[in-house]
Amino acid sequence: MSLKDLKRVTELPSGEIGFLINELMAEYRARKGGIMLVEVAGGYQMVSNPEYAPWIRKLRSAAPQKLSLAALETLSIVAYRQPITKAELEQLRGVNSDGVIKSLLEKRFIRIVGKKEVPGRPLIYGTTREFLQFFGLKDLSELPTIRDLHPEEL
């Protein structure tokens, strides 16, 4: 739920909502229960505590959503290079990306954000809130940097 929605529903000022949310988040953390409140994708979401993942998987008895290596590669390129066209993406990957792009659009991890102002007006793609939620990110600034990924090489 976004801060805007919380403000509309509670009719409280943003500062007070932020204070109350932070208190609630601390309370859930201190309790070490099965539910946590986290800030994700510009809003707040109640999620299961990762500590209890094995039991939750047993309860759900459904396999977690998985992405192929091609989908992860494509999604990472879109995340780091957005906005990006299909041609730019394929140039970086070196292979046709039609199927992967279609799959990521269906999963709502990427979306069409517009058309590039060049001849042919190709579609440009960017990531979505669902992408942020799936990976547990507040925003794109939380994506790892090159230094985070390969500190031993620096």
| pLDDT tens string 64-89 | 678 899 999 999 999 999 999 999 99
User: Alpha-carbon distance 150 to 49, whole Å?
Assistant: 29
Q: Which two tokens stand for residue 136?
A: 């547990």
Among 60, 79, 95, residue at a domain's last position: 60
Q: Within 13 Å of residue 49, how many CA atoms lie on the same side as its CB?
A: 13
Do 87 and 36 share a domain, yes or no?
Answer: no
Do 37 and 101 share a domain, yes or no?
Answer: no
Residue 73 included in any domain: yes
Which domain does 136 fall in, by range? 69-142
| CATH number of the CATH domain containing 31 | 1.10.10.10
Do 133 and 106 share a domain, yes or no?
Answer: yes
Query: Which residues neighbour 26 within 8 Å (Cβ) at sequence distance 6 or greater?
Result: none
Type of residue numbered 52 = Y
pLDDT one-digit tens code per residue, 85-115: 999 999 999 999 999 999 999 999 999 999 9
